[in-house]
Amino acid sequence: MIDFLIIGGGIAGLSAAARLAPMGKTLVLEREIALGYHASGRSAAMFEQNYGLPSTVALSRASADFFATTDGGFLSPRGVMFLAKSEDRAAFEQACESFEATPISTEDACTRVPILRPEIAAFAAMHEEASDIDTDRLLQWCAKTCRAHGGEVRTGQTVTGITRTKSGWQVITEGETYEAKLLLNAAGAWADQIAALAGIASLGITPMRRSMARIPAPGGHDLRHWPMLLDVHEHWYAKPDAGSLIVSPAEEDPMAPFNAWPDDMVLAEGLARYQEFVSEEVTRLEASWAGLRSFTPDRNLALGPDGNDAAFIWVAGQGGYGFQSAPAASQLIADLIAGQPSELDTATRNALDPRRFSRCPAA
């Protein structure tokens, strides 16, 4: 009998497995042949702990020590530069307050990123503490930690049936049948589909496409020390990556769960918005791709037991915050299962509790 059967081999499922494997027999089932194939493999890979709703910020801040100290740390300096046009002063000031960013002069901004057009980028601010996350190493660390405690991680396992039993759950794949006490749903964009297989009411999770393009280093510049660039309205962002620049239109287009690909028109519109702020023309793409960022109706993550069956655990609705919240999110899951106190405050725990969707309104 498996103690913890986790469906989903992205960062949500693997980080939960790393926490739970020391507590009991743990198995991760991933449909694809590789771990982190969908949203986790298409992340912007940033740790910006002031980004998101209050509950997300709380998770990210609670994850900071893990990222800095575990296994030598998973972060490297990057920083985020917020940019705004002259007519967007109010939005710029709000972004500075929300992200605790420090305004800098246009001259300083152009020194840091020489391709900026000062006549367009009228306002700039820096949050130096934002960092890159080594997402691949983090995924592998989680899988390695799970296995080191006797857990298993199996890829190429499409779940075709889930049945509630007296002792827990029976999970059927195309070639195996598993018995488990607790079932953890970390299936990302497919989380509601997995719930339906288990006879659990959906949470109304909506996958939303986000597209990205990789372009050559603008002007042949060395991008190693450039910050991430973010329009204050989040209509586009750009981030150095392995000598190139990733540019995203930062769209949120609702989609059915599938192996996402970018919409050429959406990508072109996003590149045009980026292009307005810089002097170097985008003449070709090195690659393009898309991922699905999945949100609950209130955009808070769903972490914990289902409101109608405590043996079904939601680890879902990460949106774009899966990596940066994973250490604290997985610790919360472990604390809930173990029945031990969480370091997160009550308001944060309530905001993340999946049972919020099944509670009846007060009379």
Q: What is the pLDDT of residues 338-356, one digit of tens each?
A: 999 999 999 999 999 999 9
Output the pLDDT for position 36. 76
Output the pLDDT for position 33. 85
d(C-alpha 36, C-alpha 247), whole Å: 21
31 and 151 share one domain: yes
215 and 199 share one domain: no
41 and 183 share one domain: yes
For residue 181, is it within any domain? yes
220 and 287 share one domain: yes
d(C-alpha 9, C-alpha 37), whole Å: 8
Give the pLDDT confidence of 173-206 residue by residue, as tens digits: 988 999 999 999 999 999 999 999 999 999 999 9
For residue 173, is it within any domain? yes
254 and 302 share one domain: no
- Mean local confidence (pLDDT), 309-313: 98
Evaluate whether 182 touches 304 at the Cβ level (below 8 Å): no
30 and 177 share one domain: yes
pLDDT at 358 over 90: no
148 and 228 share one domain: no
Least confident of 303-307, 314-318, 319-323: 319-323
Total domains in the chain come to 2
For residue 257, is it within any domain? yes
Q: Which domain holds residue 29?
A: 2-60+134-205+297-357
182 and 244 share one domain: no
d(C-alpha 8, C-alpha 37), whole Å: 10
Q: Model pTM?
A: 0.94
For residue 65, is it within any domain? no
CATH number at residue 107: 3.30.9.10
| Count of CB atoms situated within 10 Å of the CB of 118 | 13
142 and 199 share one domain: yes
For residue 301, is it within any domain? yes
Give the pLDDT confidence of 113-170 residue by residue, as tens digits: 999 999 999 999 999 999 999 999 999 999 999 999 999 999 999 999 999 999 999 9
Output the pLDDT for position 39. 56
Output the pLDDT for position 360. 46
